[in-house]
Amino acid sequence: MKIVLVLLALVAAAMADHHCGTLAGLKVKSEWGRAYGSGHDREAFAQAIWRATFAQAPESRDLFKRVHGEDTSHPEFIAHAERVLGGLDIAINTLDQPETLKEELDHLQHQHEGRKIPDNYFDAFKTSILHVVAAKLGRCWDREAWDHCIEHIEKGIQGH
């Protein structure tokens, strides 16, 4: 009996760990607030994420020809990078309001569909976010929570 209980507890813990729950959402929301920053800090944060993404998947630059993806310091690319983080900001800030979040993710999905974005580009983008956030926040941040919540947001944009 005890073993069953322990097993159940483990299963419950594992399930809780694998999705972006309310607490995880709140954590990410507040930590994002610190990492996102403002002003030229924010510009650098966005650029660092994109540089790391392009370093992982160099071919993905081709998708960003229209916004000068060949040069991450180009004003048009900087504008694009900030726009992307703006969308992410809305998504993360509504992690505790599922209906609003759904609306935003549907909107973003609509903007991305038809661009033929491979799943591994989304993976690379998530990995970049995790690394740059770690660099920005240093100590206090919950990697697991970020992993699951960014995944949740990306799934919503990918539509699967």
Is the Cβ of residue 32 or residue 45 nearer to other proteins in the bound state?
45
Q: How many CB atoms lie within 10 A of CB 64?
A: 17
127 binds other proteins (CB under 8 A): yes
Q: How far apart are CA 61 and CA 19, in angstroms?
A: 30
Q: How far apart are CA 94 and CA 37, in angstroms?
A: 18
Is the Cβ of residue 105 or residue 141 nearer to other proteins in the bound state?
141
114 binds other proteins (CB under 8 A): no
Which of the ranges 11-19, 93-101, 105-113, 132-140 carries the binding residues for other proteins, by CB under 8 A?
Answer: 132-140
Which of the ranges 3-11, 82-90, 120-128, 147-155 carries the binding residues for other proteins, by CB under 8 A?
Answer: 120-128
Q: How many CB atoms lie within 10 A of CB 33?
A: 12
Q: How far apart are CA 70 and CA 67, in angstroms?
A: 9
In the chain, helix, strand, coil percent, each to 5? 80, 0, 20
Out of 55, 74, 76, 110, point to the residue binding other proteins (CB under 8 A). 55
Q: How far apart are CA 56 and CA 51, in angstroms?
A: 9
Q: Residue 128 CB, nearest distance to other proteins (Å)? A: 7
Out of 29, 68, 131, 155, point to the residue binding other proteins (CB under 8 A). 131
Q: Residue 87 CB, nearest distance to other proteins (Å)? A: 20
Is 112 annotated as contributing to ligand binding?
yes
Alpha carbon 142 to its chain's center? 14
**Is 105 in contact with 157 (CB distance < 8 Å)?**
yes
List contacts with other proteins (CB under 8 A). 37, 40-41, 44-45, 47-48, 51-53, 55-56, 72, 124, 127-128, 131-132, 134-136, 138-140
* Binding site members for heme b: 112
- Residues at the binding site are 112
